[in-house]
Chains A and B, each alone.
Chain A
């Protein structure tokens, strides 16, 4: 029963592991893109500029109210068109095709970004007002204030939330298998179709996802412990 997972050309073991690697890669790049989007839109939500607030709120409402699959279809079918349209403005007239990895990263990153926005906004809000005032009193502004005083505190508070976003993002990448990117989901579909053993391969996929979530849980827990050194946890009080 397990010979189907042998390595090399006869089995699917190495292909499945490569699929798992692809899942981790596309999840990680989507998470990073999402955090970047999150920082920008959290700044918009926290700003006093009305139009920026509207834009950021529209973005998070749409992403949280519309199925992920629709967002992926939009970018899968419309992504290349949009890039070509922008390229045309800059004078490039050729045909541009985005690969599945790029489209997947943009789509899942856009979804992940909406969740990150809320996590980062909450974290910035929970930094004590006195920190901002103290920083300003010391004559800091711009990078000095936000980069050196606020960011390290926000990062610490946001870490558990980002851990949750990571789990959501990891599972959302399964959806981009419909665009042809060969990650765990797609690979197990291919293997299941070719060996007529769907049960075994979907079970293997379940195990791979559980292993990845377990490992990343451990990593996030460690990071949380590292970054909360010097802080008394609520449980200890």
Chain B
């Protein structure tokens, strides 16, 4: 073990934390919005809405994230109409390609979590709300949504951890976040075990904080009795 190297590389690797957190938080927020839209499409009961949503989720869950990243970063830039479009300033940046890919990916995975959460809301609550004279929008906002949030929270916590892990892939398209910096140091110093321990501990700490925060939120929100 080269402890001095570990000490030095620690200070280099933590410089990647802001980028990791930034990419994760932006894509999580955008992905959540996408996930809600996809989940509502899937349970809409209209085939013209639910079928595209189903295939979107199927496509994203059936292919590796790395492939999706390459597709967005290298694949789309092949066409001159994309290179000439107003989107090109965004699509040529690895940073935005990373965010777009992670957003789409978490959007697909979270939509299933949200769909499960909405479906878990007991019919009795909806009926009771109707009996109290609440309209559909009020029922959704005041009854369905809070229960969905509570039910989906544990699974969504896992999804957040998966997002932190998935964000390491953007190092492959030249972004210097935690894994990117770690990889550079490994190829310079050839000390894979030491660097792995340092970078791995940073990820474990980030994920541990997420676990604690989600656990706290779960306790704050209390439990929902189904019937």
Contact = CB atoms under 8 A, between A and B. Distances in A.
Partners in one complex: yes
A199 interface: yes
Interface in A30-81: 61-62, 64-71, 73-74, 76-78, 81
A202 B67 CA distance: 7
A177 B182 CA distance: 18
A70 B199 contact: yes
Contacts, number: 115
Contacts of A78: 192-193, 196
Interface string B73-110: 01111110000000000000000000000000000000
A59 B58 CA distance: 31
Interface size class of B (residues with CB under 8 A): 35 or more
Contacts of A192: 74-75
Contact of A171 (B63, B164, B172): B63
Nearest to B64: A174
Interface residues of A: mostly helix, strand, loop or mixed? Answer: helix
A6 B26 CA distance: 42
B119 to A, nearest CB: 16
B62 interface: yes
B168 A67 contact: yes
Contacts of B63: 171, 205-206, 209-210
A203 B67 CA distance: 9
A178 interface: yes
B66 A62 contact: no
Nearest to B66: A174
B192 A74 contact: yes
B67 A70 contact: no
B179 interface: yes
Given A67-B165, A67-B203, A78-B196, A189 B79 contact: no
A77 B79 contact: no
Contacts of B169: 67, 69, 175
Nearest to A193: B74
Contacts of A61: 204
B62 A213 contact: yes
B217 interface: no
Given A65-B207, A199-B79, A77 B71 contact: no
A225 B145 CA distance: 37
Nearest to B162: A64
B207 A210 contact: no
Given A197-B78, A198-B74, A198-B78, A66 B64 contact: no
Interface string A188-227: 1100100011110011011001100110000000000000
Given A69-B172, A175-B64, 12 more contacts: A62-B200, A65-B161, A68-B165, A69-B168, A71-B196, A73-B196, A77-B187, A171-B64, A185-B64, A197-B78, A198-B77, A203-B71
Q: Which 3 A-B pairs have the closest CB atoms?
A: A174-B64, A67-B168, A78-B192
Interface of B: 58-59, 61-67, 70-71, 74-79, 161, 164-169, 171-172, 179, 182-183, 186-187, 190, 192-193, 196, 199-200, 203-204, 207-208
6 contacts: A65-B204, A67-B167, A69-B179, A74-B196, A185-B67, A198-B70
